[in-house]
Structure 1
Amino acid sequence: MQNSTKTSLGVTLNIISSALFALMFAYTSLLNELQGQETYGWRVLFTVPFLTVFILLKGYWPLVLGIYTRVRYEKYFWLTRLLSSFLVGVQLWLFVWAPVNGYGLAVSLGYFIMPITMVIIGRLAFQERLTPHQKVACLFALIAILNLLIVSQSFLWPVWVVCIGYPIYFWLRKKTNTNNIGCTWVDMLLSLPIACYFIFANGQVVTELTVNLTLLYLVVGLGGISALALSFQSLSAPYLNLSLFGLLVYVEPVLLLIVAILLGETINQKDWLTYIAILLAVVTLILEGIRKLHLTHYR
């Protein structure tokens, strides 16, 4: 497969993943009677079987076996799996907790800033080059970050968790050569004990199973959406370098921002410069994508 075709496939898969994550962000409003911890627990519990079926049907199980083999024969590899599972587990919990606790905008801002930290890691750790359009997009994003820090002072803790935690997670995947859907499955599997604890510690769904099956159907649906979103995201990663993968993440926070506003949150007046700068960054990336598609079409 040619490089341009691989990149186009990666971009398509990544955009589908972003749309599914935004759908899940909105979907959590249907579960607002649950605590965030229990919602996270059910998400993980039902994501694992859905993700397992997807991997088996698509023939990706050798990737899982490859990680198992490395755990057996590489001395400290198991430690990186625990760290990887912890890093992504925090993000999965925050994603379902934030929109029903008034932090949806904060999480979307974290996703807006995350590409910049990913670009920095890609440049410093892997010597990846940026295109002129990507440099301009980074400049706009830097303006947005400075406005958050100096003018609006809207850097709430979920912003930091997302914009720093996720880049470390993806750096670890890249560094350990586990940037694939098999790694995602192992991460989710290792999260199961904590997920089950949250389910039975809070126990609302379990308690109401005999009188309210709607809750069970809703959490099953959450698991299905989660598995598809994670699958498409993991499938896109091998076709994209870290910098491009990071910049594509701008698609998701735009959708999350829309969902947060629809759920009743509002943007402060001091934050408008941040969002305008981010919009310009997104437009810059779209223009680059159109240009690349045009050049590929006429080759």
Structure 2
Amino acid sequence: MLKGVLLSILASVLFGGLYFYTTWLDPLSGEEIYGWRMLLTLPVMSLFLFWSGDWGLVRSIAARLNKDWKLWVALPVSSLLLGIQLWLFLWAPLHGHAMNVSLGYFMMPLVMVLIGHFYYKDTLSHWQKGAVLLAFLGVVHAVFQAGGFSWTSLLVCLGYPYYFVLRTQFKTDHLGGLWFDMLLMLPVALYFTATGQGFDAMLGMNTSLPLLIILLGLLSASALVAYILSSKLLPFSLFGLLGYVEPVLLVLVAFLIGENIAEKEWPTYIAIWLALTLLTLEGLFTLNRQAQPYALKERITADRSGS
């Protein structure tokens, strides 16, 4: 489970970095950035699958397409759900919706906890229940202050959980399924890149843009791989709760690009930070309990060797 937690945190850090990274890709629009990201993520992910020996996951889904017609519907829907989220993630900070999207990411873990409890029958520890309560209070305050939900907030908090549920139902919840998601996004990605200003800028004086675009693909692939691997290693509810790391980082990015938190919004973020603190304390206590038997075994072995 520790590996899953670390991968989830790594994914959140990389996604937060991507959120800020988009501001360096001038003169590309949000649609162009999305297009280049998809075009470069697929080959990088393909190389990773070959290197890690997981290419068989892609072949297994391809073989199932000959037997299960439902996959011909499920895979495009899965790709569409993820594609919308990835596009919104890059579009929001360029169009003044960074805080609204951050609110959506605050609400999403609660939706995932509810799905995990009622659909997957996950059980929560006392620490996790306390974190859920704090997060719930923070989100209620945020929604009350905002006067409701923006469409970007709802798209995030409802779209992502259903994406994961759909992948689980059709047993595509692994890197092979993510590869097909990326593959089916290519037509839209090609359209966005072909109709944008990126090629003209790269042929002009902007010599750094090609390198920045290549790095975009590397960061994107790394974040998505870590995210999907963590979703396989963690219970659905805990995976959802760890999603609170990302919106905290997105708020920091929103600060960096010029957005601010109003005084009335601080209770929401304090509640979320307290919830993350509870999860961190639980993790530290768990690691300590796991380390004690190992340390005792080491001492016994050392005593026997000494005697």
TM-score by length of 2: 0.92
- The one-letter amino acid paired with 1:250 is Y
Question: Following TM superposition, by how much is the alpha carbon of 1:150 offset from its aligned partner in structure 2, in angstroms?
Answer: 2.1
> How do 1:167-206 and structure 2 match up within 5 A?
167-202=161-196, 204-206=197-199
> 91, 98, 102: which is aligned to 2:96?
102
Identity of aligned residues (%): 44
Aligned to 1:4: none
Aligned to 1:285: 279
Which structure would you say has the larger Rg? 2
- The one-letter amino acid paired with 1:287 is L
Question: Following TM superposition, by how much is the alpha carbon of 1:270 offset from its aligned partner in structure 2, in angstroms?
Answer: 2.1
Q: d(CA) in 2 for partners of 1:91 and 1:12?
A: 23
Q: d(CA) in 1 for partners of 2:95 and 2:25?
A: 12
What are the superposed Cα offsets for residues 200-221 of structure 1, whole Å, 9 maximum, x if unpaired?
122x111233223322221111
- The total of aligned residue pairs comes to 292
> How do 1:133-152 and structure 2 match up within 5 A?
133-152=127-146
Give RMSD over aligned pairs: 1.3
> 200, 204, 213: which is aligned to 1:207?
200
> How do 1:215-234 and structure 2 match up within 5 A?
215-234=209-228
Q: Give the gaps of 5 or more residues in structure 2.
A: 294-307
- The one-letter amino acid paired with 1:38 is E
What are the superposed Cα offsets for residues 107-133 of structure 1, whole Å, 9 maximum, x if unpaired?
222112111100111111111111111
> 76, 89, 106: which is aligned to 1:82?
76
Is 1:28 the equivalent of 2:12?
no
Q: d(CA) in 1 for partners of 2:5 and 2:45?
A: 21
Question: Following TM superposition, by how much is the alpha carbon of 1:153 offset from its aligned partner in structure 2, in angstroms?
Answer: 2.3
Q: d(CA) in 1 for partners of 2:177 and 2:208?
A: 32
Contact kept, 8 Å, 1:32 with 1:100, in 2: the verdict is no
> 64, 83, 86: which is aligned to 2:58?
64
Q: d(CA) in 2 for partners of 1:134 and 1:167?
A: 19
Q: Give the gaps of 5 or more residues in structure 1.
A: 1-6
The runs of at least 4 consecutive aligned structure 1 residues that moved more than 4 Å come to: none
Contact kept, 8 Å, 2:103 with 2:142, in 1: the verdict is no
Aligned to 2:151: 157
